[in-house]
Amino acid sequence: MGKPTGFIDYKRETSRAEEPKSRISHFNEFHTHLPKEKQQLQGARCMECGVPFCQSGMNIMGMASGCPLHNLIPEWNDLVYSGNWEQAYERLKKTNNFPEFTSRVCPALCEAACTCGLNGDAVATKENEYAIIENAYAEGYAVPKPPKVRTGKKVAVVGSGPSGLACADQLNKRGHSVTVFERSDRIGGLLMYGIPNMKLEKHIIDRKVKIMEEEGVTFVTGTDVGKDKKAAQLLSEFDKVVLCCGASNPRDIKAPGRDAKGIYFAVDFLSRTTKSLLDSNLEDGNYVSAKGKDVIIIGGGDTGNDCVGTSIRQGAKSVTQIEMMPKAPDTRAENNPWPEWPKICKTDYGQEEAIAMFGHDPRIYESTVKEFIKDKKGDLKAVKIVKLSWEKNPETGRMEMKEVPESEQILNAQLVLIAAGFLGSQKYVTDAFKVEVNERTNVKTEPGAYQTSAEHVFTAGDMHRGQSLVVWAIREGREVAKAVDLSLMGYSNLYVQ
């Protein structure tokens, strides 16, 4: 512990965000981070608790508390404070393959469980992580380190999202020859096309992928396994196959008028925008444009917020976000104590920008779409929504949503984006490899295991656990790599805490 009174002596200080009306003029990351000297003082705020909940990664009341990767947070916070940046990097990399990603897009489960947050402000762990990894690149610590010995074993990883990349990184470090297959034209999966540039600029992904290539990982893009390349062919060419294809089936909204022109899934809207941005700086027009339109976004999660921010940058006339759930409280409720994940209302960057542009929060709570209204040409012109109330079913005892009579409202809309989550793996992939799926269409394995019902085929990430966070995908990628290594070698020395 660098300074026993650090959490008393120094206030929490984080990066400064560019003003909303300024940052909506571009698609770049928009935070100015602290200089190294100030960041070191943030490391001093870590108490190095006897029981560090920040790195626990356990489930409390069905929610994650602390880092699922079990990052050695008190250790590298102390090393930041003492200025031992290279050692801090080594401790960080021991448990996290991609801190350059998590320090940008993770919701900081570690900070929600920080002991300092019980009676004050949590340690700025996420920004300490950012400082460690970016300093490592600047100082030349984060260089390629190819394995010195190869095992002669070959592994195919299908999907290049965070779980696939983590799996490939771990197996390559072990000395296996790894080939990653990606159906898109760029490596990164969800990281590349599912998360907007404002949260994760794509040169950050390319920077890491280049290092992995120099360490010996082979990447093959534009190949849709199960269609372009048959499962049998992959199994004949490789000793093991790991499916990390994500939860790729978007949940639809079944309502009259669903066939109207102007309704898109959020993931398609975001991915096409990012691809056009990378290909031509949006000059090719190969994206869904919100310019001059009244935009309705169905769904209140991170993806919905990303749609808000992207629509505003494209020049939307108005943006409204529909949420089925009630507004969460602004502070922790009595039945949601620390160190549980705080179920509080979060106003994210997109909503901040909507407030700055339109003068009000874009969210309408406890509502759902009842009808999509078309004009004579079949184009979307409006959406009918209805208020919901939660009532207990006297027979089952469960809370159920009921429509509030005479609460319908018509909202102008020429563009609707459905951000209602994902349902599981894609059938053509699971059918191709003949793997069993569960009732949620996630690939089925034994509890805590990664071997599928098909011989030599493993799975990890959202395809395995369902839609989740990047940090959980990385953990699953690390764990499946250990399972594959054990299967290949009879033992494994890959580190998974």
374-394 pLDDT, tens digit each? 999 999 999 999 999 988 888
Neighbours of 100 (CB within 10 A): 20
pLDDT mean across residues, the chain: 96
User: What per-residue confidence (pLDDT) applies to 1?
Assistant: 67
Residue 482 carries which side chain, given as an amino acid letter? Answer: K
What confidence tens digit (pLDDT) does each residue in 401-441 have? Answer: 899 999 999 999 999 999 999 988 999 999 999 999 999 99
DSSP 280: H
What are the domain boundaries of the chain?
Answer: 6-139, 154-248+423-489, 263-418
3-class DSSP assignment, residue 481: helix
CA-CA distance, 361 to 479, in Å (whole number)? 41
Q: Do domains 154-248+423-489 and 263-418 have the same CATH topology?
A: yes
What is the pTM for the complete model shown?
0.96
User: What per-residue confidence (pLDDT) applies to 480?
Assistant: 98
User: What per-residue confidence (pLDDT) applies to 463?
Assistant: 97
Arch. (CATH architecture) of 154-248+423-489: 3-Layer(bba) Sandwich (3.50)
- What is the average per-residue pLDDT within 342-347? 95
Report which of 34, 38, 37, 46 is spatially closest to residue 2, judged by C-alpha positions: 46
Residues β-bridged to residue 229: 225
- What is the average per-residue pLDDT within 315-343? 95
The two three-digit tokens of residue 486, written as one number: 């054990």
Segment holding 458, helix H or strand E: strand 457-459
Does residue 497 surpass a pLDDT of 80?
Answer: no
CA-CA distance, 140 to 151, in Å (whole number)? 28
User: Which residues, including other chains, have CB under 8 Å from residue 8's CB and lie 6 or more apart?
Assistant: none
The CATH fold of domain 263-418: FAD/NAD(P)-binding domain (3.50.50)
CATH number for the region 6-139 comes to 1.10.1060.10
- What is the average per-residue pLDDT within 44-73? 92
User: Given its phi and psi angles, is residue 246 left (phi above 0), alpha (psi -120 to 50 degrees) or beta?
Assistant: left
What confidence tens digit (pLDDT) does each residue in 93-112 have? Answer: 999 999 999 999 999 999 99
Residues β-bridged to residue 364: 322
| Sign, CA torsion 144/150/151/152 | positive
Question: Which residue would you say has higher pLDDT here, 495 or 225?
Answer: 225
What confidence tens digit (pLDDT) does each residue in 149-207 have? Answer: 999 999 999 999 999 999 999 999 999 999 999 999 999 999 999 999 999 999 999 99
